[in-house]
Structure 1
């Protein structure tokens, strides 16, 4: 039996479904954040900071861990606060407050390094898997890595230059075509696109600050902790 996760503040459908790239066999990926009960922060053992489930796929991060990842520019966690409204399954008032401060969590260097870094990871996986001729499964995985490489480059540059993140891609077929091209021709077919975006990051000036506003994130965390502390005091009142 799965453990019940209390105090989920924000949760939604992410991944290929959110990007508009899901196919007939794609899974629904869910990402969310939760706050541990206040009293557990003062005990002998620090509570778990993440819970990962499968069938269906769902990842939940404790609010402090999520903030640390977001402040580092992590693309996977960042998309949670930029989802289209219809993709949220849990959206509390504290979750809305986090969405309101999402841009303050960003910084130019960390966004650049994180998005290009994740895109490069996808490229390395393509190189390590070969040209996809060995099996249908390898070809399918290569196409997926190529699609995500292109998406990460595009979304990262958008976030870097505009301070906004559009989750759903404009032309899904363009991404599927690119994935099939790379799956057929091999990793070298993706190399020019990665180089193009690296040059675009160098060429464009970012609207983002040099450092993220950690004070905004910490102030939100304090509001979360205070909320559940007040709730604890109410419960314990004689």
Structure 2
């Protein structure tokens, strides 16, 4: 895969400003026999990958070969360029927003530039983000139900054990909880607070039925729809601020004023170190 090349591994290793845990572990809802370790990073690529002909959007590293599903103990790492991460975050991508709120104990690597970015987390709480949470919730529900437009379940062992894919169900309900919290407070609490944390763990281990999960998701979706319509938040993120901040951040890194990718690194033979 192009995104997993040694060249991109080196760019990510040398330019990372933030790397942290994401996924069920950081939410506090991981189940030992169902999860891998998901990490996300943000890096500043060298100037020639921004103003030259070369391009870097993201680096992907997986313990398992491409096409093989990850399991317990495996690492799935995605390191985005700062520009791509910003575009996704401004649009309210639920997963991409997590590094803004991850507690220090779950941060693998961080620079002062990352601290500066995390201090601006409030700028990403928008009604557009709420709409994205609704869209992702619906997608997980379609996947769980096997409806057209949803992904086919690739976890037959969960269906055999519980009667439905509890991982899709978990994501569906979790997205509703997180979307409501972001609209009501402007933040996402990590790990998730009780009683939802225990409820979701129980869902993943057979403690709730598919119908119960669907009922909770419907209630959360209705609440989220009402909040998006009425909450006192910007309709969309401030892209002019983001553009100014990105230009300044890249110029500081390239001039050596901030840790990051000042020169093109040699290709690495493996994924970025933790």
Cα drift, residue 92 of structure 1: 0.5
Unaligned 5+ segments in structure 1 are none
CA RMSD of superposed structures (Å): 2.5
Report how far residue 176 of structure 1 moved: 2.4
Counterpart of 1:60 in 2: which secondary structure? strand
Output aligned runs, 1:169-184, within 5 Å: 169-171=192-194, 172-179=197-204, 180=206
TM-score, normalised with respect to structure 1: 0.85
Q: Which has the higher contact order (CA 8 A, sep 6+)?
A: 2
Give 1:211 shift. Answer: 2.1
Structure 2 residues without counterparts, runs of 5 or longer: 64-74, 148-152, 264-274
Q: Is the 8 A contact 1:106 1:213 kept in 2?
A: no
Q: Say if 2:134 is the partner of 1:116.
A: yes
Query: Is this contact kept in 2: 1:116–1:153, CA < 8 A?
Result: yes
Which structure's residues are more often helix, by fraction?
Answer: 1
Counterpart for residue 52 of structure 1: 60
Of 21, 25, 43 in structure 2, the residue corresponding to residue 17 of structure 1 is 25
Change (3 A) 1:209 1:135: closer
Which stretch shifts more, 89-98 or 140-149? 140-149
Whether 1:219 aligns to 2:238 is: no
Contact kept? 2:21, 2:108, Cα under 8 Å: yes
Within 5 A, what are the aligned runs for 1:29-178? 29-45=38-54, 47-55=55-63, 56-108=75-127, 110-128=128-146, 135-138=156-159, 139=161, 142-171=165-194, 172-178=197-203
Distance 2:59 2:184 in 1: 33
Looking at structure 2, the residues matched to 214 and 50 of structure 1 have their Cα atoms a distance apart, in angstroms, of 21
SS of the aligned residue for 1:76 comes to coil
> Following the alignment from structure 1 to structure 2, what is the Cα–Cα distance between the partners of residues 19 and 11?
16
Shift of 1:181: 5.2
Query: Is this contact kept in 2: 1:19–1:169, CA < 8 A?
Result: yes
Alpha-carbon deviations, 1:23-82, whole Å to 9, x = none? 22322111010011013322223x120111111210010011101000000001000110
2:233 to 199, 202, 208: 208
Deviations 1:141-199 (A, max 9, x none): 711111111111011001012111112122332112234256xx44x443322221222
1-side partners of 2:124 and 2:239: how far apart?
7
What is the alpha-carbon distance in structure 2 between the residues aligned to residue 150 and residue 144 of structure 1?
Answer: 10
SS class of match (2:255): helix
